[in-house]
Structure 1
Amino acid sequence: MKCRPLSVRHLFYVNCIGLLFSMATITLIAFSFTLEGAVFIMGAAEAVCALVWFFVLTQSLGKRLSRFACELCDTLDNMMDGGEAPETSDNSEALLARISHRLTRLYKIMQENRRRVEEERRELQALVSDISHQVKTPVGNLKVAADTLLTRTVTDAERSGFIKGIRSQADKLDFLVQALVKTSRLETGVICLEKKTSPIYDTVAQAMSGILYAAEKKQIAVSVTCPDGLMVSHDGKWTAEALFNLLDNAVKYTPSGGRITVTAEKGEMYAEIRVTDTGKGIPENRQAAIFRRFYREEAVHEQPGVGIGLYLAREIIMRQGGYIKVVSQPGKGSSFSILLPLR
């Protein structure tokens, strides 16, 4: 059977009745032994004194608890509104001090959660804005080409040109979607990188196979130096993806007749895969920005791409405990290095 909780007033009445009953019982027992009438007077006086002091104690304790409850409510309201941190209480009572300390910890946790939610909201807004900006151009081009084919009489040569343009814009949209899917799956943990100790030569060869045709088409000389026995703990598939993105950029931004050099070396704690090109180079004040998602410099907008390759490459390497560094000077080319821990 569930007991109904007593209110503070009823609890006070119950304690008063219990106190009077106890004092009366003690007085009667004392009278039965002494048979003196003065015992009743003393018992009544003690009962009155006990009731007075009990009332004073209850009132002071009630006011203190009431004040603490009001402060607690104000603090909780302030915390929910995102106001200032609650003040640490110096109450001597251990219970009130423990509550105060836990409120401070709860406030810090709430503030951290609120900060994370706000940061995620800003990132989501930026992502939606970036995707909208990236999609707007190819979609607009597709609409123009389609409207032209539907409303105008064109020659076979013009029709072929429009169809090629439509195919090019569709390929750009497909590339954007694929890049976004890879990035999203990596960031949300859908893809877990599995590090295994394997030859780095195989990873370099896998990445190189994706850019050889484009490099040959631009008559770019590509050389590779990689020891066969260099073993590194890494995820071969995704590391090859990151390395391919670096190589793909090197081919895009290196002029015809240029040179790309790929070198793999073993250090004391890291294995380094370095991609060096003879391209236009990157100013020092832009070298941190190039790893941002969808970042592209104004001077290279004529080149194909959406500005997500370097961002994805950095995410892949960082999730394996490594990092990417860049050394570059305008007019003297760039050197991107992937550094992976040996174990």
Structure 2
Amino acid sequence: MKLLKPKVLFIGLIILVSGILIYALLLNNLALLISCICLVIYGVLIFFIERKKIQEELNLLSVMIDRMMNQERVEGIQKHDEFMSSKIQHQLEKVNTLFVSKQEDIERDRDEIRLLINDIAHQMRTPITNMKLYLELLELEELTQTQQQYVDSVEKAMDTLSFLSENFIRMSRIEGKIIQLKSMEQSLTTTIYEAITVIDGLASSRNVQIHFDEELAYVVSHDFHWMKEAIINLLDNAIKYSYENSDIYIQINENEMFMQIEIIDQGIGVNEEEEAQIFQRFYRGQRVSNQKGLGLGLYITRMIIQTHDGYIKVKRKDRGSIFSIILPK
């Protein structure tokens, strides 16, 4: 059942009392007239007092909900037990206590997992380096064709392990907020061009052409090495999931407040329902489940861009996807 608004109740009261006043005047009854006036004054006072109480309660509940949304505790807020909303306040506090407790557990478990991954990755570095050294020594020997195939297979496995361990270390450093950006006003064009240089070999192996006009001069504050890493990840992703003999276009747009980098590929694209998920840690899209990978590249890229106070998004098109990096100027 809907409650009547205070304004409606007040108007109804005025109409009722006005009717009584008219009736009292017609009867020429002074006592009834004075009683009606007193009733009006009393009604008005009660109306404004109750309205103020309701407003205070609503403000209090609003503050509690805001604190809960900000993952803050709601302790220390004055309660008004005589109001009907005191029960709601108590329930909100219980929900908030439960929510904060669960959030703390999640944060603690995540920190422990991050430290474990970091330790494992660091421990892997030494044996991987030693194994690569032994492989290099083996290649100095005269090997049969079969032996050379075995060595090549082991080298590929070592490269994969090295790639995974380095990505785990990057992820741990970024999540632990222990990286220090050396942001400065510098050429974004140069950073992108250097990233293309690194990834050009992979593009050539799939006969994918990367188009970028390095003649244009764009300058924005960023860390050269980390931004280069983010762009390499996006280009690597675009090349892996593009069809052979296709094109990748890199465009830069700017306005007074932002600089936007667009990487446009002609690949398999992204499902609409996955656009908000592909930047999550370890997420693998439905269309790429048969491809190698752990789902770390886009996650690390998102963390790097967020560390630059920017954000990244993806938009699907008829053929391929558009990945956009937005950086503040």
Class of the TM-score when normalised by the shorter of the 2 chains: 0.5 to 0.7
1:296 aligned partner? 284
8 Å Cα contact 2:190/2:214 also seen in 1: no
8 Å Cα contact 1:186/1:192 also seen in 2: no
2:20 aligned partner? none
Report the CA distance shift for 1:282/1:90 in structure 2 as closer, same or farther (over 3 A).
closer
CA distance in 1, matches of 2:77, 2:291: 57
1:177 aligned partner? 165
CA distance in 1, matches of 2:173, 2:185: 24
Which of residues 161, 165, 187 in structure 2 aligns to 1:199?
187
2:155 aligned partner? 167
1:97 aligned partner? none
8 Å Cα contact 2:268/2:287 also seen in 1: no
CA distance in 2, matches of 1:195, 1:128: 27
Instruction: Give the CA deviation at 1:108.
Output: 11
Which of residues 275, 286, 290 in structure 2 aligns to 1:287?
275
Gaps of 5+ in 2: 1-73, 82-92, 119-142
- Count, aligned residues: 225
Which of residues 266, 281, 293 in structure 1 aligns to 2:254?
266
1:338 aligned partner? 325
Report the CA distance shift for 1:88/1:270 in structure 2 as closer, same or farther (over 3 A).
closer
Instruction: Give the CA deviation at 1:125.
Output: 7.6
Secondary structure, aligned partner of 2:278: helix
Instruction: Give the CA deviation at 1:296.
Output: 1.6
Report the CA distance shift for 1:256/1:128 in structure 2 as closer, same or farther (over 3 A).
farther
Secondary structure, aligned partner of 2:107: helix
Any idea what the Cα deviations from partners look like across 1:225-272, whole Å, max 9, x if unmatched?
356432101112111111110001111111110101111122231111
Report the CA distance shift for 1:247/1:90 in structure 2 as closer, same or farther (over 3 A).
closer
Amino acid at match of 1:212: D
Report the CA distance shift for 1:87/1:326 in structure 2 as closer, same or farther (over 3 A).
closer
Counterparts of residues 94-243 of structure 1 (less than 5 Å): 114-123=101-110, 156-226=144-214, 228-243=216-231
8 Å Cα contact 1:220/1:257 also seen in 2: yes
CA distance in 2, matches of 1:185, 1:321: 17
Report the CA distance shift for 1:129/1:286 in structure 2 as closer, same or farther (over 3 A).
farther
2:42 aligned partner? none
CA distance in 2, matches of 1:333, 1:292: 20
Counterparts of residues 3-82 of structure 1 (less than 5 Å): none
Instruction: Give the CA deviation at 1:173.
Output: 1.4
Gaps of 5+ in 1: 1-83, 92-105, 132-154
Amino acid at match of 1:258: S
CA distance in 2, matches of 1:266, 1:224: 16
CA distance in 2, matches of 1:128, 1:302: 30
Report the CA distance shift for 1:327/1:189 in structure 2 as closer, same or farther (over 3 A).
same
Report the CA distance shift for 1:223/1:111 in structure 2 as closer, same or farther (over 3 A).
same
Secondary structure, aligned partner of 1:290: coil
TM-score scaled to structure 1, two decimals? 0.57
CA distance in 2, matches of 1:128, 1:273: 33
CA distance in 1, matches of 2:289, 2:150: 21
Instruction: Give the CA deviation at 1:123.
Output: 3.2
Any idea what the Cα deviations from partners look like across 1:98-151, whole Å, max 9, x if unmatched?
xxxxxxxx99997776344212245358769999xxxxxxxxxxxxxxxxxxxx
Which of residues 228, 245, 255 in structure 2 aligns to 1:257?
245
Instruction: Give the CA deviation at 1:301.
Output: 3.8
CA distance in 1, matches of 2:145, 2:288: 30
Instruction: Give the CA deviation at 1:189.
Output: 2.0
CA distance in 2, matches of 1:286, 1:130: 26
Report the CA distance shift for 1:124/1:188 in structure 2 as closer, same or farther (over 3 A).
closer
8 Å Cα contact 1:326/1:337 also seen in 2: yes
Secondary structure, aligned partner of 1:285: helix
CA distance in 2, matches of 1:280, 1:128: 35
CA distance in 1, matches of 2:150, 2:172: 33
CA distance in 1, matches of 2:222, 2:208: 29
8 Å Cα contact 1:219/1:257 also seen in 2: yes
Secondary structure, aligned partner of 1:340: strand
Q: What is the alpha-carbon root mean square deviation over aligned residues?
A: 3.6
Instruction: Give the CA deviation at 1:207.
Output: 1.1
2:305 aligned partner? 317
Secondary structure, aligned partner of 2:162: helix
CA distance in 1, matches of 2:243, 2:117: 29
Secondary structure, aligned partner of 1:225: coil
